Amino acid sequence: MAIAGPARLTRAPSVARPDAAGRPPRVGDTPLVRRALIGFVVVVGALLVVAPLVVILVTAFSAGWGGAVAAISHPDTLHAIGLTVATALVAVPVNTAFGIAAAWAITKFDFWGKRALLVLIEIPFSVSPVVAGVAYLFVYGLQGLFGPALQAADVKILFALPGIILASMFVTAPFVVRELVPLMQAQGRDVEEAAVSLGASGWRTFMSVTLPNIRWALLYGVVLCNARVMGEFGAVSVVSGNIRGQTNTLPLHIELLYHDYQTAGAFAAASILALLAVVTIIAKALMERQMPR
C-alpha cells in the first residue's frame, strides 16, 4: 500500500492590496520610486524651463534697468511689439470664430466628411511652420498661383501685415477647435435640442445654453492661441521678409538684435515674450481649476 507523501504547500501569489483610503495600487507606489520620479521631473523641469527664464531675465538687466528700458523703448522694438499685437488682434478673434463654428459643426451635426474635416484641421500641427511659410510664397508670391492677379490689382500680401496675419492664423487654427470638440462631444446635444423644442432660436440657444457650458474651454483655447501667435517665428520669418522696422514681429526682432551682437537688447525684448509665457501658464492653471466646475 503506497503511502502518500507530505502535502506540498504552495504559496499563493501576492496580490497588491488597496491602501488605507481604499484606492487601488499604482505602478511604483513606493516611497523610493515616488521620490525618484519627483526628483527627476523637478531636475529636468529646472534645466529645460526655469534655467532659460532666469538667464533671459539676468541678461536682460545686465546693463541695468536703464539699459533694459532703453532697449525696449527703441523705435524698432516698439514697432515690432505693435506689429505683434496687431497680428494677434486680428488672428486670434478670427481663429476663435473659426474654432467655435468648426466645433459646433463637428459635434452637433452628422454629415459626410466629418472625419476628413477633423484631419484637415489637424494639418497645421503636423506641418512645419517654415513649410507653411514657403507654401504661402507659392500661393501669394509674385511667381505663385495668385501672384500675378494680386500684382495687377496692386494688392500686397507677402512681406506685409496681411501675409504675417495669414501665416499666424494657419499655425494657430487648431487650438480653439481642439479644446472645444472633446468637451462638446461629452456634453452631447440633449440640452440644445431641448432649448430648440421650447422655441429658442439658434442664436439664443448658442448664447444661453452652449456658450456658458464651453466658456472655460473656449478661454483656454484663446489663451493658447494668443501665446502661439505672439511667439510664432518659422512661418512669419518666411512671409515677412525680415525688414527692420517694417515687417519684423517681436520674435524676428529678437533674432535680428542677437545677430547684431546686441545681446542685452535682444534679451530685454525676449523678456517680454518670457513674461507673456509666464502669464499664459498662470492663466492656464487658473482656467484648469475652473473647468471641472
Q: How far apart are CA 102 and CA 114, in angstroms?
A: 10
The pLDDT of residue 14: 46
CB contact at 8 A, 72 and 146: no
The pLDDT of residue 171: 92
CB contact at 8 A, 206 and 219: no
Please indicate, yes or no, if residue 28 is contained in any of the structural domains: no
Please indicate, yes or no, if residue 32 is contained in any of the structural domains: no
Max mean pLDDT range (186-190, 229-233, 260-264)? 229-233
The pLDDT of residue 167: 92
Q: How far apart are CA 271 and CA 59, in angstroms?
A: 9
How would you classify residue 27: left for phi > 0, otherwise alpha for psi between -120 and 50, otherwise beta?
Answer: beta
Q: How far apart are CA 210 and CA 204, in angstroms?
A: 9
As for how many domains the chain has, the answer is 1
167 alpha-carbon distance from chain centroid: 15
- pLDDT exceeds 80 at position 3: no
What is the residue-averaged pLDDT of the chain?
A: 83
* Cell numbers describing residue 285: 492653471
Please indicate, yes or no, if residue 52 is contained in any of the structural domains: no
- pLDDT exceeds 60 at position 10: no
Q: How far apart are CA 178 and CA 167, in angstroms?
A: 19
Please indicate, yes or no, if residue 11 is contained in any of the structural domains: no
| Domain encompassing residue 198 | 61-290
Please indicate, yes or no, if residue 160 is contained in any of the structural domains: yes
CB contact at 8 A, 224 and 27: no
Mean per-residue pLDDT for 144-149?
84
CB contact at 8 A, 219 and 225: no
Please indicate, yes or no, if residue 24 is contained in any of the structural domains: no
pLDDT digits (tens, 9 = 90+) for 239-286: 988 788 888 899 999 888 888 888 888 888 888 888 887 887 787 777
* Cell numbers describing residue 12: 499563493
For residue 123, the domain's CATH number is 1.10.3720.10
* Local confidence band at 24 (pLDDT 50, 70, 90 cut-offs): low
* Local confidence band at 27 (pLDDT 50, 70, 90 cut-offs): low
- pLDDT exceeds 70 at position 26: no
In a 3-state reduction of DSSP, which class is residue 245? coil
